[in-house]
Amino acid sequence: MNVAPHLFWITSRAAGGAALLLASASVALGLMMSSRRKSANKRDLRSIHEALSLTTLAMVALHGVSLLGDSFLNPGLSGITIPFVGAYRPIWTGIGIISGYGLAVLGLTYYLRDRIGAARWRRLHRLTAVFWLLAVGHTIGAGSDAAQLWFLAISGAIVVPAALLLTLRWLGRAGSSAAASGSVAGAPGLRAEQPSG
């Protein structure tokens, strides 16, 4: 089989798959780092998290730019940069473009966190999970390998654990918010009616 005519498409597929796996590993590691458990090696984990994030962004860029050379899709610059204008599965491709922009902006804000402020940066950085979920949706909806057993097995090994960690985090936040509001509602002196004395 002559792969030369499909080299750009194959490169884009490989880069997209790598981006998904790297982003999933980065999300999982970020969730583990931000847990309240004390860990002596958080600095080492932060370096790995940063490397995964930057490599993810490089793979996202390669995923899109490679398509410019694909003679079958021929998306043009607008097809890889403007959401929902391309001819190939425009909804899912548009979601992928939005996801790429979101991951890039949020990932690069790490280098501006001193200007943004640590607390505000942490709140913004939580949105990374939303853009990662959009990337997973893009992969399922637009990916040509999404239904392949080998791809599902490889992706599932990294995407599913990250998704479980994210679900546990969200459930934990929801539970702690409910507990906090319950304790405030039951606190003495905060009732709607105060006993007359």
Please write the tens of the pLDDT for every residue from 50-78: 999 999 999 999 999 999 999 888 999 99
In a domain, 93, yes or no: yes
Over range 76-102, report the average pLDDT.
96
In a domain, 159, yes or no: no
Alpha-carbon distances, residue 123 vs 17, 18, 109, 119, 128 (angstroms)? 28, 27, 12, 6, 10
The helix, strand and coil proportions of the chain, stated in percent and rounded to the nearest 5, come to 75, 0, 25
pLDDT band of residue 178 (cuts 50, 70, 90) is: low
Task: Identify the sign of the CA torsion 26, 28, 30, 32.
Answer: negative
* Domain coverage including residue 9: 4-32+42-150
Per-residue DSSP letter, 184: H
pLDDT in tens, 106-144: 999 999 999 999 999 999 999 999 999 999 999 999 988
In a domain, 88, yes or no: yes
Predicted TM-score (pTM) of the model is 0.83
- For the chain, what is the domain count? 1
Q: Tell me the C-alpha distance between 15 and 186, whole Å.
A: 54
pLDDT at 173 over 80: no
In a domain, 59, yes or no: yes
Q: Tell me the C-alpha distance between 95 and 26, whole Å.
A: 20
pLDDT band of residue 189 (cuts 50, 70, 90) is: very low
Q: What residues contact residue 130 under an 8 Å CB cut-off, 6+ apart?
A: 102
Over range 27-51, report the average pLDDT.
84
Per-residue DSSP letter, 196: P
pLDDT band of residue 183 (cuts 50, 70, 90) is: low
59 and 19 Cβ atoms separated by less than 8 Å:
yes
In a domain, 183, yes or no: no
In a domain, 180, yes or no: no
Over range 90-97, report the average pLDDT.
97
pLDDT in tens, 149-162: 999 999 999 999 99
In a domain, 195, yes or no: no
Q: Tell me the C-alpha distance between 80 and 188, whole Å.
A: 58
Give exposure, 34-53, as e/b (b: 16+ Cβ within 10 Å): eeeeeeeeeeeeeeebeebb
> What is the average pLDDT score of the chain?
87
pLDDT of residue 110: 92
Q: Tell me the C-alpha distance between 108 and 111, whole Å.
A: 6
In a domain, 196, yes or no: no
pLDDT at 24 over 70: yes
Q: What residues contact residue 19 under an 8 Å CB cut-off, 6+ apart?
A: 56, 59, 60, 63, 135
